[in-house]
Amino acid sequence: MSFFQNFWDIVWWLFCVYAIFAFLWALFMVIADLFRDHELSGWWKAVWIFFLAFVPFLSLLVYMVARGKGMTERSREQARKSQAEMDSYIRQAAAASPSEEIAKAKALMDAGTISAAEFERIKSRVIA
């Protein structure tokens, strides 16, 4: 009888694969959090890494219970910092400098596309 002929063997195999990936994901998240935490000394990080290497399942559970709240806060702070950096970069890359906007408005006024009053309004908006 082939392995994949029994439906429950397939379900059990998928569950085991899922459990392995979930465990590895949690392990890597804990290791990343260890190195993200600047309040934890190097010795404590080494102790956690030692226990994660030799008693992985138990130390993973203990870490999540003991330091889970701080792990969440550090993860949120990292996400906020990344979002702020991305927003800053997008604003910097997308926005024209005030002198460029005034030069464009001046070119439009010289071409007769906008009036002098509209040019002054654009200029005051850009400067403000």
Q: What is the pLDDT of residue 127?
A: 83
Look at the alpha carbons of 11, 12, 13, 18 in this order and tell me if their dihedral is positive or negative: positive
Structure confidence by residue, pLDDT tens digits, 52-97: 999 999 999 999 999 989 999 999 999 999 999 998 888 777 767 7
End-to-end CA distance of the chain: 79
Helix-helix angle 56-94:42-54, to 10 degrees = 120
Q: Indicate if the pLDDT at residue 118 is higher than 60.
A: yes
The residue among 47, 53, 81 whose CA lies nearest residue 67 is 47
The number of angstroms, rounded, from the C-alpha of 32 to the middle of its chain's C-alpha atoms is 13
Q: What is the pLDDT of residue 9?
A: 84
Structure confidence at residue 4 as a pLDDT band (50, 70, 90): low
| Whole-prediction pTM | 0.62
Residue with tokens 């006024």: 109
CA–CA separation, 8 and 118 (whole Å): 74
CA–CA separation, 48 and 55 (whole Å): 10
